[in-house]
Amino acid sequence: MHGNILIGDGMPMQLKNKEEVIMWLKKDLTIDRLWEVMALYENFPFYTMRNLEFAYIIKGNEMFVNRKEKSITKATVGMALCKALELDGVVSGPKKLGTFGASYLYPIFLYFEIIRLE
């Protein structure tokens, strides 16, 4: 347990499980909060819609996916987040996000319950 130490814009380090992280993220869903949460999940195994496993690392304002050479920028993630919010979280597939790297962002957004299937 890390006590009440805060990181970034105030995420309590004692958040241990996914549900607590999602609650904190959704309390004020901004690109900065999302980026902070994404940094916590570096090297976590995610799966594309075609069931291809991938992981990523964050370096500064770039996200590097192990299946892709070109990075996905924080600005691109922000555009995808705006699109997801515009659609009230109902996003039927990666292409609906309309950004570079959407096939990787889509499962991440699903995992963090930013979007849902309907």
pLDDT at 117: 82
For residue 30, what are the contacts with CB-CB under 8 A and spacing of at least 6? none
Tell me what percent of the residues of the chain surpass a pLDDT of 70: 86
For residue 79, what are the CA distances in angstroms to 27, 31, 52, 72? Answer: 19, 9, 24, 11
Closest CA to 91 of 113, 117, 69: 117
| Contacts with 69 (C-beta within 8 Å, 6 or more apart), sequence order | none
Residues making up the chain, counted from first to last: 118
**Per-residue model confidence as pLDDT tens digits over 15-41:** 668 899 999 999 999 999 999 999 999
Specify the 3-state DSSP secondary structure of 56: strand
